[in-house]
Amino acid sequence: MNTLRFFALKESYSRKPIQIAENQHRSALFGNNVFGKKAMRQVLSAEAFRAVEDAINTGSKIERAMADSIAAGMKQWALEHGATHYTHWFQPLTGATAEKHDAFFETDLDGNAMEKFDGAQLVQQEPDASSFPHGGIRNTFEARGYTAWDPSSPAFILDTTLCIPTVFVSYTGEALDNKTPLLRALGAIDSSATAVAQYFNKSVNKVTATLGWEQEYFLIDAALAASRPDIMQTGRAMLGHAPAKGQQLDDHYFGSIPTRALNFMKDLEQQCMLLGIPVKTRHNEVAPNQFELAPVFEEANLAVDHNSLIMDLMDRIAERHHLKVLFHEKPFAGVNGSGKHNNWSLMTDNGINLLSPGTTPTKNLQFLTFFINTIKAVQDNEELLRASVASAANDHRLGSSEAPPAIMSVFIGKQLTKVLDELEKVTDGKLSPQEKTDLKLNVVGKIPEILLDNTDRNRTSPFAFTGNKFEFRAVGSTTNCSRPMVVLNTIVARQLSDFKNEVDALIDSKNMKKDDAIFNVLREYIKASKRIRFEGDGYSASWEAEAKKRKLSNNKTTPEALNIQITRPVIKLFEETGVMNEIELKARYEIELEEYVKRIQIESRVLGNIAQNHIIPTAIRYQNLLIKNVKGLKEIFGADHKKLGQEQLVLIEKISEYIKTINTLTFEMIEARKVANQEEVAKRAVSYTKNVLPFFDQIRYASDKLELLVEDKLWPLTKNRELLNLH
């Protein structure tokens, strides 16, 4: 009899909750382990403090002597807070975070011990990081890669290590990470959005993109997870019949949080507070064992860092609670998967949310300008936006009637639809004084300041306006937010600078007033963006048909979705905005395809192993029991055994059929892999989608049928109903 499953079940039932005391107000903990403004003021000279502030606000360079002074302050603070090591903390293109710790400890020639850290170590390092994905960039020229300090994301202490957020670039300056293009995209949107915001308010000097992510995840008992090779190696249950009771009764969503999960959350949240991650919301999600966590929104670069950090932190803290976090987009068939909504907006340095309607017609014209330009940007780049969230795991989720489809569209709600319909009727050319007054009073002036009408929310839309921000809902739960944020900010940056050029052209050549020019350009954008707007049910088949008529892309698989990234117009877009060059784009394309292939390859191997080593032998063992039974019946009843053992005989045959199916399919799958592996990467990826992936469901189907037939105590794999039963 198998023992691992039952050992794990026993372990999981004997867990004692690990109580977490809440001794201090969260605000008293907030940022204590962060080298933020408060800490910097304490240990840095006024001059050094200003140098960091300037670097954050204007991207100005920090001179070497100044870096030494900052490093000295940082070291002092870190040592006072118990740090023994420091690391450049970066986000290579694996999607996760990377760190290599060095001790502050050093000895001099006389053997004297000391703690050392200077400006050189703060500003730039050369990790031996040759094994990170680089898509060929590091084969050319020099193979070296550098990490360089990003002062806009403050250093923090994790455990006993001072972590310094950095970019990771090649010797030739190409981005090897997720942060570099993000910083460039945020720079691009800053300059183009500031220029447009100045039409309405001359005092705006800077525009910051804001991001509030909502992270969904599953929690399962660590011992149960460890008993499932598929979960340990692929992050998801590749096999296993859906539990009889899944989410049908809607009794988990917003229900009371299971004690073990709540303790984990408290522990996590306290750590988040210390690290300056402003987590605010926690609740049960739709599926059993599924939860969600959301912070207060932040500047996008910091928010991306915080999301990467929290995913790492969640893994570590879960361990303490004998839990395992599953971030996978579809860890269990038959219940909902996980996403990571990205709420996005733009904020001026005087604190105005540019996507928030205001109290005056001018503020509302400003709002409409940014609102309509965003819609136009999505309209023109819908396929690229889809590509920014493409991954093997997210392919399970998009379009599976619990998550938005793979078709991008924008939802804006009834009220704003009416406003856009009115604006579309604006006169071509100069507006009469009467028309302008009318517009200001009845259209632009009539946008209610608070648009957060909950009844008007459409949960099926991938890109929805939710009152004062857009919510991009197609992002996968494992995706590094940097990918969608790079694309969104780049396309809107590009759109806003086009807008500025068009408005200025009308003002200069047609002698139009500024407002007239703005109304004219917006009117054309509204007309041009109709295709992308959709208010109906995004999950419906009729939308898929309608979207096809509208010639919207519907790339259901990652290899299809990624192609757009290396097309001429996209390369031009990224080059002109200064976000990425052709080499970087092609490298990323290759890395993403490679990752896709590797993920499916690993899944295919894991599935093959489980099928051969666990499922088939178990089926045979149970079949032997049945055979023994039938033989026994024959011994006692002679010829009558056929009638008496009729059901057993049917079962014996059925089991043989399933064994045959699983065995044949597994070998065919291996052959398909061999063929696919011969191809170059783009074709290999397609081949994996078309020729390897389809076996997964077929093998699973037969195995899940066997799970229902075979005696429970013989079944080696912890059942999904057991995994999804956190108490």
Binding site for ligand ADP (CB under 6 A): 210-212, 214, 294-297, 341, 343-345, 353, 468-469
Q: What is the nearest approach in angstroms of Mg ion to the Cβ of residue 473?
A: 7
Q: Judged by CB, which is closer to ligand ADP: 404, or 559?
A: 404
Binding partner selected for residue 689 from Mg ion, ligand ADP, none, CB under the kind-specific 5 to 8 Å limit: none
Q: Judged by CB, which is closer to ligand ADP: 124, or 353?
A: 353
Query: What is the per-residue binding string for Mg ion in 287-326, x denoting contact by CB under 5 A?
Result: ----------------------------------------
Q: Which two tokens stand for residue 386?
A: 């889809």
Binding partner selected for residue 297 from ligand ADP, Mg ion, none, CB under the kind-specific 5 to 8 Å limit: ligand ADP
Binding partner selected for residue 294 from Mg ion, ligand ADP, none, CB under the kind-specific 5 to 8 Å limit: ligand ADP
Q: What is the nearest approach in angstroms of Mg ion to the Cβ of residue 341?
A: 4
Q: Judged by CB, which is closer to ligand ADP: 328, or 341?
A: 341
Q: Judged by CB, which is closer to ligand ADP: 292, or 383?
A: 292
Q: Judged by CB, which is closer to ligand ADP: 211, or 407?
A: 211
* φ and ψ at residue 168, rounded to 5 degrees: -130, 110
Q: Judged by CB, which is closer to Mg ion: 293, or 493?
A: 293
Rg (alpha carbons) of the chain, rounded to whole number: 29
- CA distances in angstroms from 61 to 37, 50, 575, 612, listed in the order given: 18, 12, 23, 59
* CA nearest neighbour of 342 among 193, 167, 154, 209: 209
Helices 64-80 and 46-58, axial angle in degrees (round to 10): 110
Contacts of residue 551, defined as CB under 8 A and 6 or more positions apart, other chains included, come to 531
* CA nearest neighbour of 268 among 504, 521, 22, 552: 22
* φ and ψ at residue 241, rounded to 5 degrees: -65, 145
Cα 141 from chain centroid (whole Å): 33
Determine the size of the site formed for Mg ion (CB under 5 A). Answer: 2
Q: Which residue is nearest to ligand ADP (CB)?
A: 212
Contacts of residue 67, defined as CB under 8 A and 6 or more positions apart, other chains included, come to 118, 119, 120, 122, 123
CA–CA gap between residue 77 and residue 228 (Å, rounded): 44
Binding partner selected for residue 210 from ligand ADP, Mg ion, none, CB under the kind-specific 5 to 8 Å limit: ligand ADP
Q: What is the nearest approach in angstroms of ligand ADP to the Cβ of residue 68?
A: 37
Query: What is the per-residue binding string for Mg ion in 192-221, x denoting contact by CB under 5 A?
Result: ----------------------x-------
Q: Judged by CB, which is closer to Mg ion: 341, or 614?
A: 341
Interface segment toward Mg ion; rule CB under 5 A; list 185-193, 229-237, 336-344, 642-650: 336-344
Using DSSP bridges, classify how beta strands 298-299 and 85-89 pair: parallel, antiparallel or unpaired: unpaired
Which amino acid, 520?
Answer: N
Q: Judged by CB, which is closer to ligand ADP: 49, or 470?
A: 470
Q: What is the nearest approach in angstroms of ligand ADP to the Cβ of residue 343?
A: 3
State the CB neighbour count (10 A cutoff) for residue 617.
14
Q: Which two tokens stand for residue 30?
A: 């907030």
State the CB neighbour count (10 A cutoff) for residue 174.
20
Binding partner selected for residue 298 from Mg ion, ligand ADP, none, CB under the kind-specific 5 to 8 Å limit: none
Binding partner selected for residue 212 from ligand ADP, Mg ion, none, CB under the kind-specific 5 to 8 Å limit: ligand ADP
Q: What is the nearest approach in angstroms of Mg ion to the Cβ of residue 36?
A: 28
Q: Judged by CB, which is closer to Mg ion: 49, or 344?
A: 344
Q: What is the nearest approach in angstroms of Mg ion to the Cβ of residue 488?
A: 16
DSSP H helices in 396-511: 414-423, 433-442, 482-509
N- to C-terminal Cα separation, the chain: 26
Binding partner selected for residue 228 from ligand ADP, Mg ion, none, CB under the kind-specific 5 to 8 Å limit: none
Q: What is the nearest approach in angstroms of ligand ADP to the Cβ of residue 254?
A: 11
341, 397, 483, 523: residue in contact with Mg ion (rule CB under 5 A): 341
CA–CA gap between residue 525 and residue 412 (Å, rounded): 15
Binding partner selected for residue 91 from Mg ion, ligand ADP, none, CB under the kind-specific 5 to 8 Å limit: none
Q: What is the nearest approach in angstroms of ligand ADP to the Cβ of residue 297?
A: 3
Question: Interface with Mg ion includes 340 (CB under 5 A)?
Answer: no
Q: Which two tokens stand for residue 665?
A: 């399919």
CA–CA gap between residue 607 and residue 229 (Å, rounded): 9
* CA nearest neighbour of 363 among 454, 488, 448: 448
Q: Quote the longest CA-to-CA distance of the chain.
A: 106
Q: What is the nearest approach in angstroms of ligand ADP to the Cβ of residue 218?
A: 18
Q: Can you tell me whether residue 19 is helix, strand or coil? A: coil
Q: What is the nearest approach in angstroms of ligand ADP to the Cβ of residue 450?
A: 12
Length of the chain in residues, anyone?
727
Beta-strand runs (E) in 77-178: 85-89, 102-103, 105-107, 113-115, 124-125, 145-149, 156-158, 161-170
Q: Judged by CB, which is closer to Mg ion: 184, or 306?
A: 306
Q: What is the nearest approach in angstroms of Mg ion to the Cβ of residue 340?
A: 9
CA–CA gap between residue 478 and residue 308 (Å, rounded): 10
Give, for 179, the enclosing helix (H) or strand (E). helix 179-197
Q: Which residue is nearest to Mg ion (CB)?
A: 341
Which amino acid, 616?
Answer: I
Q: Judged by CB, which is closer to Mg ion: 225, or 385?
A: 385
CA–CA gap between residue 356 and residue 448 (Å, rounded): 10
Q: What is the nearest approach in angstroms of Mg ion to the Cβ of residue 471?
A: 5
Binding partner selected for residue 371 from Mg ion, ligand ADP, none, CB under the kind-specific 5 to 8 Å limit: none
Q: What is the nearest approach in angstroms of Mg ion to the Cβ of residue 179?
A: 24
Binding partner selected for residue 353 from Mg ion, ligand ADP, none, CB under the kind-specific 5 to 8 Å limit: ligand ADP
User: Is the separation of the CB atoms in 315 and 268 below 8 Å?
Assistant: no
Q: Judged by CB, which is closer to ligand ADP: 92, or 339?
A: 339
Using DSSP bridges, classify how beta strands 279-284 and 290-295 pair: parallel, antiparallel or unpaired: antiparallel
Binding partner selected for residue 469 from ligand ADP, Mg ion, none, CB under the kind-specific 5 to 8 Å limit: ligand ADP
Q: Judged by CB, which is closer to Mg ion: 214, or 595?
A: 214
Q: Judged by CB, which is closer to ligand ADP: 468, or 698?
A: 468
3-state secondary structure 503-518: HHHHHHHCCCCHHHHH
Binding partner selected for residue 612 from ligand ADP, Mg ion, none, CB under the kind-specific 5 to 8 Å limit: none
Q: What is the nearest approach in angstroms of ligand ADP to the Cβ of residue 457?
A: 7
Cα 405 from chain centroid (whole Å): 16
CA–CA gap between residue 703 and residue 692 (Å, rounded): 17
Q: What is the nearest approach in angstroms of ligand ADP to the Cβ of residue 561?
A: 24
Q: Judged by CB, which is closer to Mg ion: 214, or 298?
A: 214
Residues near Mg ion (CB under 5 A) are 214, 341
